[in-house]
Chain A
Amino acid sequence: MSRLFKVPLLSNTEVADGHRLASFALPRETRAPQAGQFFMVGIPGLQDPLLKRPFSLHRMTDEGRVEILYRIRGKGTRLLAERTTGDVIEVLGPLGKPFPLDSTGRPVLVGGGLGAVPLVQLALSLAGRSPRIFLGARAGAELLSLDWFRKADPETVVSTENGEAGLKGFVTEPFRAYLEDSGPTCTVYACGPTPMLAAVSAICRDRGIPGYVSLEEHMACGVGACMGCVTETVEGYKSVCREGPVFPMEQVRFSFPGGSPERGGP
């Protein structure tokens, strides 16, 4: 019944400055995680920090391990970063609604920065349907999972704001240009900073293209009980953890400080 389990870390290695890739195995009775789902992870017995932290599934390895990719941001992730292989962590999950895979047309993935993490497993799951992938970041160093994306789409389009890698500018530009050339028979999957999601959603809405976004919010419980992590939708507030994190684009009402959705984003 319970999906809270204690498991040893099978790896926890630095992949870039301040970024780590960790893995663990799931107990046999746990249902297989799907792209877009997440886990609440914590250090057993700790009361400070008290709450677990949400981490998206990065990738299921060939051995069936769960991989998470994270940036050290505060006390919780710093303590996780200090754990080594064999140290026990506490995990709740898999949680949340995954990306629907049975979409129409060609899958088009748009990811921004570390926010692109949930798209890695999605890209691999959709590899047989020749997805087209657009990846954006502020700088080249933030393109952490590029090799995996290239496995699913060798022609993955990269943009960086500083021009270090790929095209210079926002990821929304080549994405918009692609849609103009290829017509509306595709389904878009987007994950990244809110301004980027708002821009991608606006571009899709204007062209009548269906799509999904994966959202992030501060979470306490991860299961829809505390109502802490809501997002505004056309049907009122919905919990990101339980009713999301994946939402149909047209449902989400984007609001964020500083800037209109049409301005684009990172």
Chain B
Amino acid sequence: MPSLETRIGELRLRNPVMTASGTFGYGQEYAEFVDLNRLGAVVVKGISLEPMQGNPVPRVVETPCGMLNAIGLQNVGLKAFLNEKLPFLRQFDTRVIVNILGNSVKDYVRLCQHLSDAGVDAIELNVSCPNVKKGGIAFGTDAAELGRLVESVRKASSVPLITKLSPNVGDVALFARVAAEAGTDAVSLINTLVGMVIDTVTRRPKLSNITGGLSGPAIRPVAVRMVWEVHRKTGLPIIGMGGIMTTEDALEFILAGASAVAVGTANFVNPGASVEIVDGLERYLAKARVSSVRELVGAVRT
């Protein structure tokens, strides 16, 4: 049987399929639809030190082959996550990766200390949420700030560190390189692209936040290109994401250079999508007589 096992730096995964942060709640929401034991990892909704309320509605609007969201990072906060959400996820035989966000380097450092102590499997730094005014995005679009943040956070974390990069920059490989030099173990590519939809009857934006993050199949070619570029220029381990709906979509990312993939918006359409992709990858490897999925990472013939 072909091997689906993969690695993100030091982090070993049973298979390369994860759920993307913000699209899978804290795992509990989908536990009755999906066998969480079959996933390579669950990446939970972004956590901040204190609970966050998020933006007013409308927070979501559908777009051609995709959707815009401006949730505004509503989350239960670190304490409730550790006490109420993490124990549930620990019942399953899957990796738990915690996405974190803050307004300052200090916030991120404290989150990393607590989560390292709690023994989560990895931490994903959210420096790319386009829907909040402060923090997050400021680190993701300023290379010097990003380097400073990753360096501090690296020292505070005893678990693998993944930096989720913003696609809303000119040269994404530059940011990947900065994060790597500052000590990140891997990068997630890509977060949502900033977009906007206007209601022509009311002449108002359809989202209360005016702009939002575009996700779904509409952004996939952009995401695949960015993964390919970062893989080629840095060789960093990459978790590829952006509109993955099917096994073929996941394979595109792997061939472009992703060591693992995350399924996001597809969860909303088909909660079983991630597990179907695990099965599909296994079938693909068997049919193509490839012994390990790792042989396909970056194997696009250009």
CB of B25 within 8 A of CB of A228, answer no
Instruction: Map CB proximity to B onto A39-60 as digits: 1 under 8 Å, 0 otherwise.
Output: 0001000011111100000000
- Alpha-carbon distance A47/B218, docked complex (angstroms): 9
Count residues on chain B whose CB falls below 8 Å from chain A CBs.
37
Cβ of B253 to closest chain A Cβ, rounded Å: 17
CB of B29 within 8 A of CB of A50, answer no
CB closest residue in chain B, given A92: B271
Please, which residues of chain A bring their CB within 8 A of the CB of B54?
227, 230, 237
For B22, B25, B61, B216, which residue has the most chain A Cβ atoms within 10 angstroms? Answer: B25
CB of B23 within 8 A of CB of A50, answer no
- Alpha-carbon distance A225/B22, docked complex (angstroms): 7
CB closest residue in chain B, given A222: B268
CB closest residue in chain A, given B59: A228
A221 at the interface (CB under 8 A from B): yes
CB of A225 within 8 A of CB of B25, answer yes
A interface secondary structure, majority: loop
CB of A1 within 8 A of CB of B57, answer no
CB of B217 within 8 A of CB of A50, answer yes
CB of B269 within 8 A of CB of A218, answer no
B284 at the interface (CB under 8 A from A): no
Could you tell me which residues of chain B, from 164 to 193, have a CB within 8 Å of some CB in chain A? none
CB closest residue in chain B, given A3: B33
CB of A218 within 8 A of CB of B59, answer yes
Of B64-72, B82-90, B288-296, the one touching chain A? B64-72
Instruction: Map CB proximity to A onto B251-291 as digits: 1 under 8 Å, 0 otherwise.
Output: 00000000000000101111110000000000000000000
CB closest residue in chain A, given B69: A228
B248 at the interface (CB under 8 A from A): no
- Alpha-carbon distance A232/B61, docked complex (angstroms): 19
For A224, A226, A229, A236, which residue has the most chain B Cβ atoms within 10 angstroms? Answer: A226
Please, which residues of chain A bring their CB within 8 A of the CB of B58?
218
Could you tell me which residues of chain A, from 213 to 266, have a CB within 8 Å of some CB in chain B? 217-232, 236-237, 242
CB of B268 within 8 A of CB of A49, answer no
Please, which residues of chain A bring their CB within 8 A of the CB of B216?
47, 50
Please, which residues of chain B bring their CB within 8 A of the CB of A219?
60
Please, which residues of chain A bring their CB within 8 A of the CB of B245?
47
CB of A224 within 8 A of CB of B29, answer yes
CB of B268 within 8 A of CB of A220, answer yes
Instruction: Map CB proximity to A onto B25-60 as digits: 1 under 8 Å, 0 otherwise.
Output: 100011011110000000001000000011011111
Please, which residues of chain A bring their CB within 8 A of the CB of B24?
225
Instruction: Map CB proximity to B onto A1-41 as digits: 1 under 8 Å, 0 otherwise.
Output: 11110000000000000000000000000000000000000
Interface residues, chain B, CB within 8 Å of chain A?
22-25, 29-30, 32-35, 45, 53-54, 56-62, 64-67, 69, 71, 74, 216-217, 245, 265, 267-272
What are 25 A-to-B residue pairs whose CB atoms are below 8 Å?
A1-B34, A2-B32, A2-B33, A3-B32, A47-B65, A47-B245, A50-B62, A50-B65, A50-B217, A51-B62, A51-B67, A52-B268, A90-B270, A222-B268, A223-B271, A225-B24, A225-B45, A226-B60, A226-B69, A226-B268, A228-B60, A228-B69, A229-B60, A230-B54, A231-B57
* 5 closest A-B pairs by CB: A228-B60, A225-B25, A221-B268, A225-B29, A224-B29
